[in-house]
Amino acid sequence: MLRSGLPQCGQALSCYGMACGPALIDRYGRAISYLRISVTDRCDLRCRYCMAEQMTFLPKDRLLSLDEMALIGERFIARGIRKIRLTGGEPLVKRDVIDLVRRLGRHVGAELDELTLTTNGTRLAEHAEDLVDAGVRRINVSLDSRDPDTFRFITRHGDVEQVLGGIAAAKAAGLAVKINMVALKGLNEAEVAPMLGWCVEQGFDLSLIETMPLGAIDEDRTDRFVPLTQVFEDLQAPFELVRDPHNSGGPARYWRVAGTGTRLGLISPLTGNFCASCNRMRMTTEGLLYMCLGHDDRVDLKAALREGGLAAVDAALERALAAKPEAHDFRIAAGATPAVARHMSVTGG
Ligand code: SF4
């Protein structure tokens, strides 16, 4: 039995018997309150900016089991994490992932403010109601185009109708939806304004994302890079956008579409500077904890858990806090090698 000791804080019921630990504060004084768990590196799509067409995925024997993911996730909760996002690859292609969602979802409304996920939407129609039952209230859906041909081109074979059906099912099940759209020069720039209009109509939020230099892909990213400052300027004619002070501690800056419930986020890891308020860490499906999306430093939580249980996980977390860098090191100059070699699908963006 890996679950450790007696509660030290007198909150046995809300902690499910886990011993609490000190809050996760790094050497720059930043409190870590947000964990992203990539539950699989696999995906049923092959978006051009994310994956090469022929990808080699991790062998199953290198992966954490769902039970190990839950144990580590619950340890983070006991150490003060308030929000967990499940990502991939595509989290809903992972077999039995709903069991993990249910297990972590038990903490929502107590130690955890939010359990959410980022999905490509292909399997949402099957899972939307289970997600709501398990405690999920909001999801992010990646959707770079609503045009069938452009969507198929970007994803290399995806069917946009399947994704739109999944989004409709999520809405019907009561999930709040945020659309994530990566701005891609020459591919979907003309669709940004119509996408925002559609989100307003549907009651969704929209986040626009600059391409990120993570992992070798088949294209030169500088060919597809669109600065969001320019996209934002183009949106100001059709929409009245009002600055929204919301701050997620990440690389997004927000606006409201005046007179609607729609929030517009601009995520600019390259042109914005968000590191000073960074509150997050990312764990891969094989239990590697990355302290920064733009650095390769990591600690191995799978090895820690298997060799020394949760006490060793705590010790690894101390090493992670000491190693979290002050800022990322992204660059996207023509011909530049990616700042980090791993693909976005490994750490889930
Ligand atoms: S961007 Fe998302 S949907 Fe597209 S290949 Fe990567 S993980 Fe899959």
- Among protein residues, the one with the nearest Cα to ligand 1's atom 4 is 47
For residue 276, the model assigns a pLDDT of 84
Q: From ligand 1's centre to the CA of 302, what distance in Å?
A: 25
pLDDT given for residue 277 in this prediction: 84
Rg (alpha carbons) of the chain, rounded to whole number:
20
Q: Residue 317's pLDDT is what?
A: 97
Atom 7 of ligand 1, nearest CA residue: 89
From 36, 40, 45, 342, mutation site for ligand 1 pocket: most ligand atoms within 8 A of C-beta: 45
Residue 327 has what pLDDT? Answer: 84
Residue with the smallest CA separation from ligand 1 atom 6 is 50
CA of 51, closest atom in ligand 1: 5
Strand, coil or helix: 264: strand
Q: How far is the CA of 94 from the centre of ligand 1 (A)?
A: 14
Helix 124-133 × helix 97-105 angle, to 10°: 20
How many CB atoms lie under 10 A from the CB of residue 272? 16
Using the mean position of ligand 1's atoms as its centre, give its distance from the Cα of residue 90 in Å. 7
State how far the Cα of 318 lies from the Cα of 128, in Å rounded to an integer: 37
Distance 154 CA to ligand 1 centre (A): 10
Instruction: Compute the distance between CA of residue 281 and CA of residue 319 in angstroms, rounded to an integer.
Output: 13
Distance 253 CA to ligand 1 centre (A): 23
pTM: 0.88
Pocket perturbation via mutation, ligand 1, pick of 49, 50, 180 by most ligand atoms within 8 A of CB: 50
From CA 98, how far away is CA 69, in angstroms rounded? Answer: 13
Of 39, 43, 140, 184, best ligand 1 pocket probe by most atoms within 8 Å of the beta carbon:
43
Task: Render each residue's pLDDT in the chain as its tens digit; 349 residues.
Answer: 333 333 344 343 334 445 678 999 999 999 999 999 999 999 999 999 888 889 999 999 999 999 999 999 999 999 999 999 999 999 999 999 999 999 999 999 999 999 999 999 999 999 999 999 999 999 999 999 999 999 999 999 999 999 999 999 999 999 999 999 999 999 999 999 999 999 999 999 999 998 865 555 566 556 788 888 889 999 999 999 999 988 877 778 899 999 999 999 998 765 546 788 889 999 999 999 999 887 888 999 999 999 999 999 999 999 999 999 888 776 544 455 555 555 556 655 5
Q: Which residues line ligand 1 (CB under 6 A)?
A: 43, 45-47, 50-51, 88-90, 120, 142, 155, 345
Closest CA to 144 of 176, 187, 177: 187
Separation in Å, CA 209 to CA 49, 160, 264, 315, 333:
12, 19, 11, 35, 18
Q: Which residue has the tokens 């990120």?
A: 212
In ligand 1, the atom with minimum distance to the C-alpha of 155 is: 4
How many whole angstroms separate alpha carbon 2 and alpha carbon 306? 9
Per-residue confidence (pLDDT) for residue 295, from 0 to 100: 84
In the block, residue with structure tokens 């960074």: 278
- Residue 58's closest CA among 74, 85, 38? 38
